[in-house]
Amino acid sequence: MKYIDEFRDQKQARDIAKAIAREAHADRRYRLMEFCGGHTHAIFRYGVQDLMPDNVEFVHGPGCPVCVLPIGRLDEAMQMVETHGVILCTYGDMMRVPGAKRRSLIQAKADGADIRMVYSTQDALKIARDNPERQVVFFAIGFETTTPPTAVAIKQAQSEGLENFSVFCNHVLTPAALGAILNAETPVDIDAFLGPSHVSTVIGSGPYEPFAEQYGKPIVIAGFEPLDVMQSALMAIRLINEGRTAVENEYTRAVTREGNTKAQALVNEVFELRDAFEWRGLGLIPKSALQIRTEFSGFDAEKRFPVQAQPVSDVKGCACPEILRGQKKPLDCKLFGAVCTPENPMGSCMVSSEGACAAYWSYGRHRQKADQEGQSKGAA
């Protein structure tokens, strides 16, 4: 497929790997945090980590919206269905996430709740049109990439007078998460970021510039194909070697400095900043999420269907919070591969297919853990 195959070429991958091996100084380490689950996935699916010299390491970031959504918000969505009797529509990614008492939306659906998986906000609007006697709530999650389609749906519902449609808004902001990682009490040890790819198609590369300057970390906006990730790693290594803390853009075929201004204007018209929002693993972050503006409050499910979930703590022993902050790797978690697998996920990094634990599991890194354990037992 055009714009995919040529960015997965094996020979080119070897050549870029050689360039990286040549340019990475042997006397230092390079810890690069790839922000998005999409990057993490590419790194393991295509074996990018194995092509890197030993001193170049990828640290996995928090860019997986399903992984960072607190369980309480999922429980609140479930209350909307079970207490208020709405039809709840959501993207497939949310369906398998375990909520309170480890119950997921898919289990609630099996128990008779009217929960529908949609591919697009347009599908949710259609469900509302087809069921005028029912209330339809779209359970909206995602970063800046996924927010504009929600804004379009709310505007469309308003112009159509679709009064039985509303949105449970959980859209979050990537620059705020970047700030939280850099501002953490025990800051994660990283030398550069590989910045979001499709988030940046919407917001542009400009919003990262203050972070690069203020915290002295170079940021390279990186596409999701394996060659994009490798080229971005090479660019980051060069920036580190030169001591430059700039924002560079590898994904120029889709990202500009300004981003998609039409999408930004729509988002600004419909949404405003929340004072604070709870992130799984990162805690309460000020001004890190969006809420629906008062002008559109008729479409705000939180105002229409009052819900209140109890805070739920993560499963004991689950290292998801540390993994989302880049302080641990999945192989450091005691539950990984033992009791926590994609079939029976304990934490959010395993349940979402783009979570770091799911990537490690799917592409065979659990074998590495078994090997390590085998070796240490053998040695003992």
Going residue by residue from 157 to 196, which x/- string records binding to other proteins, judged by CB under 8 A?
---------------------------------------x
Whether 236 and 220 have beta carbons less than 8 Å apart is answered as yes
Going residue by residue from 289 to 308, which x/- string records binding to other proteins, judged by CB under 8 A?
--------------------
Q: Smallest distance from the beta carbon of 68 to other proteins, in angstroms? A: 10
Select the span of 5-13, 70-78, 342-350, 369-377 touching other proteins (CB under 8 A).
Answer: 5-13
Could you say which of 51, 137, 221, 227 contacts other proteins (CB under 8 A)? 227
| Cα–Cα distance measured from residue 239 to residue 169, given in angstroms and rounded to the nearest whole number | 38
Select the span of 130-138, 199-207, 213-221, 300-308 touching other proteins (CB under 8 A).
Answer: 199-207
**According to the binding rule CB under 8 A, does residue 16 interact with other proteins?**
yes
Closer by beta carbon to other proteins, 237 or else 307? 237
Going residue by residue from 252 to 271, which x/- string records binding to other proteins, judged by CB under 8 A?
xxx-----x-xx--x-----
Going residue by residue from 70 to 89, which x/- string records binding to other proteins, judged by CB under 8 A?
--------------------
Residues of this chain, 93-112, that bind other proteins according to CB under 8 A: 93
- Using alpha carbons, select from 149, 207, 219 the residue that is nearest to residue 173: 207
Select the span of 1-9, 310-318, 330-338, 359-367 touching other proteins (CB under 8 A).
Answer: 1-9
Q: Smallest distance from the beta carbon of 191 to other proteins, in angstroms? A: 21
Give CA 187 to chain center in angstroms: 20
- Cβ neighbours of residue 102 closer than 8 Å, sequence gap 6 or more: none
Could you say which of 146, 245, 327, 348 contacts other proteins (CB under 8 A)? 146
**According to the binding rule CB under 8 A, does residue 380 interact with other proteins?**
no
Could you say which of 40, 104, 205, 231 contacts other proteins (CB under 8 A)? 231
Could you say which of 10, 83, 120, 183 contacts other proteins (CB under 8 A)? 120
Determine phi and psi for 315, rounding to 5 degrees.
-60, 135
Could you say which of 138, 211, 224, 279 contacts other proteins (CB under 8 A)? 224
Could you say which of 46, 91, 168, 211 contacts other proteins (CB under 8 A)? 91
Could you say which of 123, 209, 272, 278 contacts other proteins (CB under 8 A)? 123
- Using alpha carbons, select from 214, 223, 138 the residue that is nearest to residue 175: 214
| Cα–Cα distance measured from residue 126 to residue 272, given in angstroms and rounded to the nearest whole number | 26
Summarize as ranges the residues that interact with other proteins (CB under 8 A): 1-4, 6, 9, 11-12, 15-16, 18-19, 22, 36-38, 63-66, 91, 93, 119-123, 141-143, 145-146, 148-149, 152, 196-199, 201-202, 224, 227-228, 231, 234, 250-254, 260, 262-263, 266, 352, 354
